[in-house]
Amino acid sequence: MTRFASILGTGSYLPSRRIDNEALAESLLKSGVETSDEWIFTRSGIRARHFAEEDQLTSDLALMAAQEALKDAGKTVEQIDLIILATSTPDNLGGFPSTACVVQEKLGIKTDCGAFDVQAVCAGFAYSVHLANALIRSGAHDNILIIGAETFSRILNFQDRTTCVLFGDGAGAVVLGVSDQPGILSTAVHSDGTYKDILCIPGRVHQGAIEGSAFLTMDGPAVFKLAVKVLEQVATEVLGKAGLQAKDIDWLVPHQANIRIMEGTVKKLGISLDQLIVTVTEHGNTSAASIPLALDVGIKSGKIKRGQNLLIEGVGGGLSWGAAVIRY
């Protein structure tokens, strides 16, 4: 038979510590940083975000989302033959061992299963779907666990109100499995390293110490301008590859960076705002976790139904961006 990759199950996890804008503003004011619920919401659409506890690692969040996705898919850990984990906030300095390997151990997978991390920042989940789809269709793997997990609260400069109010922690997971029916209809990924400095962590490790800043830095206006442009382009690209038009899409499930970017993409594609899955209001920007988190929320809420066409897309540091058309 012709092999296709389809979504078998989804899962997500948010740390219990919910920080709304008022609480964050009050905390920042103690450090001399002024902001407000209105200032944050009007610029981003964010009302709250979740922060991991001090003893919670990215792999802990990933584990919870993965277990839920496996249960939803009706798969045991022994049936998973590859783990792909998208993150910019790995458990260990330097990213090794990979957080995917840590999750593999925590899941108790001792069978012949590969595991590795993907680093494409906020586009990491789209990159992971692109890769997993190819691996399943080629016959290399049958059941792939894809996870997006982040603890961005660890890399935020709480003296910079333009960035520290935007991000949150969380994890989302998807089990992709082989199917005789098309599921992942098309994918595309792109990068442009000439924009590497507009969203990055500029510090480096040298002789056991950090040289430069270990905090996230962002040129917000530059990122906004490019994001709207490339997201429209990659959406048009994957729709064309799938032989569909924007009117054929039931739900847009974008990276939850900023409500204005998301609404700008909807407008350019000519679809209704009612077809937009929005979680940024309560989650903030959870980077690689945001698309699978939003996907799981859309499915568990009953909005997204089997047989519907979904468009996922994300853009992040690199600059990297990607998208996929999925028949759920």
The catalytic residue positions are 122, 255, 285
Neighbouring CB atoms inside 10 A of 295's CB total: 28
Positive or negative, the Cα torsion across 74, 309, 312, 237?
positive
Give the Cα separation of 95 and 236 in Å (integer).
34
**41, 17, 309, 283: which is closest to 148 by C-alpha?**
283
Give the Cα separation of 225 and 136 in Å (integer).
35
- CA separation, residue 313 to residues 96, 193, 231, 269 (Å): 28, 19, 7, 13
Helix intervals (H) in 259-316: 259-269, 280-283, 290-300
Report residue 327: phi and psi, to 5°.
-95, 110
Give the Cα separation of 254 and 315 in Å (integer).
9
- Ordered DSSP codes for 165-208: TTB-EEEEEEEEEEESS--EEEEEEEE-GGGTTSEE---EEETT
* SS3 label, residue 250: coil
Give the Cα separation of 131 and 129 in Å (integer).
5
Report residue 302: phi and psi, to 5°.
90, 0
Which amino acid, residue 145?
L
Helix (H) or strand (E) holding 118: strand 114-118
Give the Cα separation of 294 and 238 in Å (integer).
20
Tokens standing for 263? 């609404």
